[in-house]
Each structure stands twice: as structure tokens, then as C-alpha cells.
Structure 1
Amino acid sequence: MSTKATKHSAPGPYLGYGLQTVRLCARLLNEPPDSTVFVEHDDDVSVLYSDGTKLLEQTKRVKSNPLSDWSVDLWKTIHNWLEDHAPFDVVSKLCLYITPDHEPGEFARALAKASSAQDVAELVTRIKSQLTSAKKKSKVYPFVSRFLSAEADEQLSLAARFEIVREGDPFSTIRLRYEAAVSPLLLERIISFALGEAKVKSDRLLEMGKPGAINAGEFKDTVRRFVQEINLPAYFNFDSPPIDPAEIDMEFVSRPTFVRQLELIEASKPQQLQAINDYLRAISSKTRWGEEGILLPGSLDEWESGLLQRHSAICDSLEVLHSSLNDVSRGKAVYAECRKLEMSLQGKSVPGHFTHGCFNELSGTMKLGWHPAYLSLLE
């Protein structure tokens, strides 16, 4: 597999991240959520799957071609895999990651394509036929000879799992996860955040003498929350179907608690119907946003706390400034002031009907009220 270099090939702000961290991050974002990704454990990067199998990845960032026929990088990697992991019973894939992109030589290409004992035997014959006395004395020969001397089933087992991944830009795998959904400016922030999280988490574990193991699902959730936080629209989407008038009428007839709260301050029927409409729209919006993953953890708790604080402040103010008002008039004034409030959710603007609907939701659960004596009157 090869990815050509792009205009992003010069990583710029990402130069501080080593290739292992980049590949750790890329694997975390692309492996199944129930898998665990390691750095500097079984290999440069490795993945442990829920079924107990492993992926091993050796990473190479070199100017000379590490895939040439007599590359020390190629044959030393194969030598180490044979020494440390043969017969590969629990290894599902042996990945050699190369950047910048290099064209594989005859041997590397044949090894990656081999799928039968005959394919491997033919490769072994070709390698032996090209072993000259000069090459036998070179640095690569001890590593090549480990492969040639391996049992045929070991050679085939290695070849069946061998994969070459070539990328001109080592950040392209991470970039492809998000570039279709966010602006270029946000894309760079996301990549920087993901790389930083991968490095900090793995470094901390290694410094403690523990394996640099990170759960892919938890890592994805962390990055997803960051993306949601910086990529939310200026306004939440309130384009939902209008509330059925029959549903509003049924709610009005049933006299839920928030409607009874309005009756205490002698709100008109149109006001009560509007409150019901806003309440139902607010509930629908929150449900939809939760399903779409727009709401961040704890954001609705903060929103509710903010509404309760503003309501309390308005009540305190009216008690000081308009103490002469009777309870019904004071309740009307509190309700009117709350309806005028402009609030934000997760730092984003929301329209008035959502704020109004949420205030009525809180009055329906008796967390606040309009009439000063609403608790005793409703109980």
C-alpha cells in the first residue's frame, strides 16, 4: 500500500513528533475500539485485538531505500520477527511501514505477494542464486541467512502475514480521518491535539515503567469530544418539524406541573400554549442532539445550573426593587424576565424558544417556580 506525497508532506508544526508517535496515533484512530495499541512493546508499534491476535509494525524513516533487495533495514526486520515471534501463531499481520515512499525491490515485492509454499520456495531460490561471495561478507548476510535457514513453514507463515505500507506523508492517515468534515484550520488543530494526546499518554506510561498501551476506543472518544467542541456550528440546528397542534392541546388538557405553575401567576391561555410548544421543541432538540453526538459530556448539567442561577438572581432583584408587588404580579415579572434572557449552550448561541422551553422544563420538575409560594401551593 502506497500513499503519494501531498502538499502537506512538510509536517511543519508536527516535526517534534517521532515516527513511532505518529504511527501510534494513526493506529489508535483506525483500529477497532476494543483493541489496544502499544508503542515500543512487541515492536515499534503493535496492536492487540480482542481475539488475542496481534499486529506488529516496524517503522522506517530513512532516505536510502529500505525495500531494496539487499537492504539491511528489510532483512534485519525479517530476522527480528523470526527470532522473536516465529511461528507467528498469535500474529495476524507483520507490517513494515516506510516513509518517505520507496519502490520495493524484487525480493520485498515477491515476499509481500507470496501466498503459497511454491511462491516462497521460488523466492528463496532467487535469493540464493544472487548471493555472491561479496554479499556474503556484507552486513546484510547474517540477516538474510536467518530467513534462508528458517523452516519452510516459518517462511510461508511470515510471507502470508507480511505487508508493506508506504506513505510520502506520514500524517496522511490521520489527516484523511477528518479532512472531509472540517476546515483546513481546524484540521491542523485536530491533528496536533491527537498527536499530543498519543505522545503524552504513551510517554507517561513508559516513564512509569509500564507498557505504552492505549485503548483505541477511549482514545477515539477523547479526540471526538475535542472535534465536537471546536467544530460545533455557531447556532445549534433547530430545523425540526413543527409540533403537532393536537399534541399541544393534549398537553394543555393534561395540565402538567409547568402549566399549573403558569396558572398560579394567572398566565393567559395563549401564554400557556406557547410555553407548551417551546417546552416540546426544547425536549425534542435535546434528544436529537444527544443522538447525533453534538452535546458534550456535562454540558446540559452546566446549562441547567446556569438557568437556575439566573432565575435566582432575577427573583432576588425583584424582591428588592419591587417589594410592593403582590405574589402574582411578582411571579409574572419573574417569568417575563426569564423569557427575555439570551443564553448560550457550550459557548454557542441558542434561540429564545429553547431557553424558554428549558425554563418550563425546570418548573415542571419543581426546581424553580414563578409564584413565590409555588412549593406550598402546588404541594
Structure 2
Amino acid sequence: MEGEDDVAVRFSNGEKTLEQVKSATKHNALSDWSNDLWKTIGNWIADIETGAVELHRTMFRLYVTPVQSGEIADAIHTASDVQTATELKQLIIAKRNALSRKPRCNKSVETLLGLGESTLPEFLARVSIESTHERPEHSVERLWGPTYSDETTQRLTSYAIGVARDKANAQIKLGHEGALNAGSFKNEIRLFAARLNLPNFLASTSTQPSDDAVTEVHAQRPKFVRQLEIINIGQDQETRAVADYLRASADKTIWAEEGDIVQGDLDTSLVRSFQLHKSEVEDLHAEHSEEVQGRQTLRLCLRTSAKLAGQEVPDHFIPGSYHELADEPEGEVGWHPNHQAILSEDK
């Protein structure tokens, strides 16, 4: 993403598809003299002529949403041989001659018209223009096929788009290409789809929070982070806790909005488990320091097996929910035996 083009699809045989994506809600990006259309054509031809792109091994795709059209754009899309290429040139010249002055995009128009007799038909045969969806996510929804319900289709779409975006952004932030391996990405989506079809499993539709989001929350030192600092859990574990906290909170919001859950007694169950684990640690680890006791209580709680509305939950959810409880102003959950007094002094 955002590399060789807006999107580049590379195949194992060395061929590729370069795709330009236009969201044009206030103008027709496929009108006869649209700058969006002709700038895209001109850039592709420039890349071919400089050798940056190998024509014989590249397909070119212009995707526009919402649905739009234009006579020249339609002709470009359908041209595939010498005859249709010649007809396209005649159409462009005739429509341009009918104008009172040459269009602003004329430089790119001349670039297309100036292609050689053999190059023009091959280039046009490799160009496709698609504008069939009112919203871009509709192009993803159609990939799932008829076996999924509308609700499942929407969840799959949101998850796939979110995962693709987050993975690409993470690579770009590291200075790498925003590239995804198709095989591993498909496997991840299949696993998520399988979980959606499990009647007693609440599949997470949230994505891993960004490093920036985690860093921002961690730097604010909310109560649940200060609780972890007190027992010296370590920077890595604190960062993991913030990520779990953010993702569990997002999941609860999404599930509630989609009607998957009604706020039940999960928190009560988690607090009860905390009290049992705390008592066990006090009995078995009284000889250890209070920090060690706190870390042991935390570990036991994070390994708690609990359900939400009678359904299994993802691995990050129970830890994230515990950190939410540890963040409550007057909450019962605290890892250090004297956390309330220490936090009061810290304030």
C-alpha cells in the first residue's frame, strides 16, 4: 500500500497489478476530461517509458467510488486490440476538437495519443476501470460469497480492512514497505471467520492498538498502570497491559452496539476470583515481599477463565477487563496488598 501505487499486488511469477483508488464524492472522476482519470493514465505511461514499470508484466486498474462513468473512460476500459484502440483515438480527438479550447489535462491526453501503434493496444488491453460500488467496502463484502449472513459479512469486512490497514501502517512506521503476505493474511481472516461461526465464542473485531495509542495512554499513568508500577511488573508487561486494556474496552463497545452482549455479571465474577486469588497468595506466600505477592496475585487473575454472557472470549479480554477494574477510582481490585495507601500518597 502507498508504494509503487496506491495499491500494488505482486504475484509469485513476477507480474503485478498497479491500482489507483479514487474517492470522488463531489465530482465525476471518470468524466471525459477528468484530471483524476488523465493524470492516472499519464503517470502509468510515464512509469512505462522510464522503465520503472514493465508493460508486458503489469496490469493497471483505476478504482473509483461512488459509481461514476464517462464515455472516454468506458472506451478505455473496453479497448483491447488495434481496432478498438484506433476507435478510442478517434473518439478522443473528435470530442477534443469539439471543445472551445483544449482541456487542462491535454498533456496527459497527448501522452496517450502519442503511444506507438503496437504499444497503445497492449497498454489499453492492460487497463481496467471499475466504478460499481457506492461505498468502497462493498468491493470487499462481495468476496465472502453467499454462505455468510449479512451481519457476519459486515464483521468480516470491518476486520479484514482494519487488519490490512494496521499491518501496513506498522510496516511503514518501521521504514519498510506497507506490504502484506497474501497467504498469511488469508489464514488470519479464515481463522477469524471460523471463530465468528462458533456459537459460543465472542470473536474480537477490534484490532491491535497502535504503538502511539499505547504510548500515549501509558505516559498518562492511569491508575491501573500505577498499580503495575507499584509491584514492579516491568515496562514490557505494563505496555502489554495497556494494549489489553484498550482492546478489551473497544470490544465491549463494539459487542454492545452490535447486540452481542448485555452487560452482565462478569465484573462481579472477576472481583470474586480476585478475592480468592488474593487470599490464596496471602496464605501461601506470606514470607515473600508485598511486591512479589502482588505480582503473583496479578498472574493468577490474568490466567482466570471466565465467560461473558455465557460465551468464550479472546485471550486479551480477561486481562484487559481486570485492568479496567484496577482502574476504577474506588475499586476493590489492587495488586499490592497496600495499594490504596500507596496510591493515595502518589496522588
TM-score with structure 1 setting the length: 0.48
2:80–2:122 CA contact under 8 A, matched in 1? no
1:99–1:170 CA contact under 8 A, matched in 2? yes
CA RMSD of aligned residues (A): 2.6
2:80–2:125 CA contact under 8 A, matched in 1? yes
RCO (CA 8 Å, sep 6+): is it higher in 1 or 2? Answer: 1
Which residue of structure 2 lines up, in the alignment, with residue 231 of structure 1? 197
Larger mean Cα displacement after TM superposition, 154-163 or 187-196: 187-196
Measure, in 2, the Cα distance between the counterparts of 1:169 and 1:133: 34
2:96–2:102 CA contact under 8 A, matched in 1? no
Matched, 1:73 2:36: yes
Give the secondary structure class of the aligned counterpart of 1:192.
helix
Question: Structure 1 residues 53, 345: closer, same or farther in 2, change over 3 A?
Answer: same
Give percent identity, aligned residues only.
Answer: 34
1:131-170 paired onto structure 2 within 5 Å: 131-132=96-97, 137-166=102-131, 167-170=133-136
Measure, in 1, the Cα distance between the counterparts of 2:102 and 2:163: 46
1:182–1:231 CA contact under 8 A, matched in 2? no
Matched, 1:116 2:87: no
- For residues 228-265 of structure 1, the C-alpha deviation after alignment (integer angstroms, 9 at most, x for no partner) is 12321459xxxxxxxxxxxxxxxxxxxxxxxxxxxxxx
1:60–1:98 CA contact under 8 A, matched in 2? yes
Measure, in 1, the Cα distance between the counterparts of 2:115 and 2:177: 30
Question: Structure 1 residues 220, 137: closer, same or farther in 2, change over 3 A?
Answer: same
1:213-292 paired onto structure 2 within 5 Å: 213-234=179-200
Measure, in 1, the Cα distance between the counterparts of 2:194 and 2:312: 10
Question: Structure 1 residues 42, 90: closer, same or farther in 2, change over 3 A?
Answer: farther
Measure, in 2, the Cα distance between the counterparts of 1:345 and 1:109: 51
User: CA shift at 1:88, angstroms?
Assistant: 4.0
Measure, in 2, the Cα distance between the counterparts of 1:50 and 1:93: 15
Measure, in 1, the Cα distance between the counterparts of 2:63 and 2:124: 16
Unaligned segments of structure 1, at least 5 residues: 1-38, 236-343, 348-379
Question: Structure 1 residues 153, 228: closer, same or farther in 2, change over 3 A?
Answer: same
Measure, in 2, the Cα distance between the counterparts of 1:108 and 1:164: 7
Measure, in 2, the Cα distance between the counterparts of 1:201 and 1:123: 41
TM-score with structure 2 setting the length: 0.52
**What is the total number of aligned residue pairs between the two structures?**
200
1:87-98 paired onto structure 2 within 5 Å: 88-98=54-64
- For residues 83-130 of structure 1, the C-alpha deviation after alignment (integer angstroms, 9 at most, x for no partner) is 013574343421110100012x22222222222212212221232233
Which residue of structure 2 lines up, in the alignment, with residue 206 of structure 1? 172
User: CA shift at 1:82, angstroms?
Assistant: 0.2
Unaligned segments of structure 2, at least 5 residues: 202-309, 314-347
Which residue of structure 2 lines up, in the alignment, with residue 33 of structure 1? none
Measure, in 2, the Cα distance between the counterparts of 1:184 and 1:133: 48
Matched, 1:58 2:23: no
Structure with larger Rg? 1
